[in-house]
């Protein structure tokens, strides 16, 4: 077997497969009641079979977070889902982070460090703008 054939076998077995459909499960809405997970995110069994949606819309949270994860811009996301507010997207993102922390408690320290760095960076930007305006 030639070296190029060996490499092809190695690469073909390690290459990421095309996107597979992931079975999404609706949030367990106990006894058919609406569950509000925040100001903007709800699960209502009468809307989209209980999947998480943004309050007052039929926009599901999953596709919006997937678009955000793909790197789409704020402007692009808000253009695609016109009834959506950016605050609602941020809330959904934070709920996802909280869920991740719940599922992986050991990762909490990593997230906290990331959040502290983000806060410090925001504070530095604010101080530099404040200095320029004075």
Residue 93 lies in a domain: yes
Q: Are residues 74 and 120 in the same domain?
A: no
In a domain, 82, yes or no: yes
Q: Are residues 84 and 38 in the same domain?
A: yes
Based on the structure, what is the number of domains in the chain? 2
What is d(CA 17, CA 14) in angstroms, rounded to the nearest whole number?
A: 9
- Taking only the tens place, the pLDDT of each residue in 71-125 is 999 999 999 999 999 999 999 999 988 887 777 766 656 666 667 777 777 777 7
Instruction: Report yes or no on 1 lying in a domain.
Output: no
Whether 79 is covered by a domain: the verdict is: yes
Residues 83 and 35: their CA atoms lie apart, in Å, by 21
pTM over 0.85: no
Is 97 found in the same domain as 44? yes
Range of the domain at 57: 26-103
3-class DSSP state of 39:
coil
């Amino acid at each position: 077997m030639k070296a190029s054939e060996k490499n092809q076998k190695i690469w073909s077995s390690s290459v990421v497969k095309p996107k597979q459909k992931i079975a999404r499960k609706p949030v367990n809405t106990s006894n058919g009641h609406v569950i509000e997970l925040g100001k903007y995110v709800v699960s209502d069994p009468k809307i989209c079979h209980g999947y998480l949606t943004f309050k007052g819309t039929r926009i599901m949270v999953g596709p919006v977070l997937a678009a955000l994860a793909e790197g789409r811009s704020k402007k692009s996301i808000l253009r695609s889902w016109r009834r959506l507010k950016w605050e609602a997207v941020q809330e959904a993102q934070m709920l996802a982070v909280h869920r991740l922390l719940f599922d992986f408690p050991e990762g909490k320290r990593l997230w906290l460090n990331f959040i502290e760095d983000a806060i410090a960076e925001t504070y530095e930007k604010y101080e530099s703008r404040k200095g320029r305006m004075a």
